[in-house]
Amino acid sequence: MPMAMPEGTRLNKYISEAGVASRRAADRLVEEGRVTINGRVAVLGDRVSEGDVVAVDGKPVGTRKGDVILAFNKPRGLTCTSNPDDPDNIIDFIGYPERIYSVGRLDKDSEGLLIMTNNGELANSIMRSRAEHEKEYVVKVDRRVTDEFVRGMSNGVPILDRVTKKCLVERTGDKEFRIVLKQGLNRQIRRMCGHFGYTVLELKRVRVMNIELGDLPTGKYRDLTEGERDELFRELGL
């Protein structure tokens, strides 16, 4: 007979998703007796069910439902910075009422999907290079995409004193291809193409992990769906 799965959310995960502390720090808060569930001092391994009131230092905390996680279709010409001195900074363009920042970046001349959030743990987990999270792009170049070019791009390209990781490359048009990367070097796709004598004319990111750009209009953003959020956190182990 299969074992029943424990109900509720692990306490350290709940606190982390509330944006109070990382899981490790949440465990320390519990060990120090600073966390309560429904007025009872919590212990390591406790789980939180719907309707439970969790407090840290006497202050109730919510869940990650309060996190801001947006999909934004960045237009060309915007800079992925919060510097107010840059007239093209992405934060002023979006004008979101809460403080958010981009998860990673796209070059000023590139466009497409950016994840915007106020959750630092989420951002760090996505950007962690060793995690090899997939990012997919559609690229238009100035020359015909040949079989040799596709093989060369797929097998790794020497740039920035290293060879890029092998990746999926597929021709989608006479002068267009899609590429799925699991690393994020500076201007990586443009440098890879340049190695073979190609110039990138248009570069659009269409997917980050399970989040797809879809038909989101340029310059607009949307909240991630509950399903997208749950899958994203699950893939990141958060």
Q: Which residues are catalytic?
A: 107
Contacts of 97 (CB under 8 A, 6+ apart): none
DSSP H helical ranges for the chain = 11-17, 23-31, 90-94, 120-127, 147-155, 188-195, 226-236
The 10 Å Cβ neighbour count of residue 22 is 15
Helix (H, G, I), strand (E, B) or coil at 152: helix
Give me the half-sphere count of Cα atoms (radius 13 Å) on the Cβ side of residue 164. Answer: 28
Residue 141 exposed, middle or buried by CB count within 10 Å (0-12, 13-18, 19+): buried
CA–CA distance, 29 with 59 (Å, rounded to integer):
13
CA–CA distance, 7 with 5 (Å, rounded to integer):
6
CA–CA distance, 14 with 21 (Å, rounded to integer):
10
CA–CA distance, 105 with 79 (Å, rounded to integer):
8
The 10 Å Cβ neighbour count of residue 6 is 9
Whether the Cβ atoms of residue 123 and residue 103 lie closer than 8 Å to each other: yes
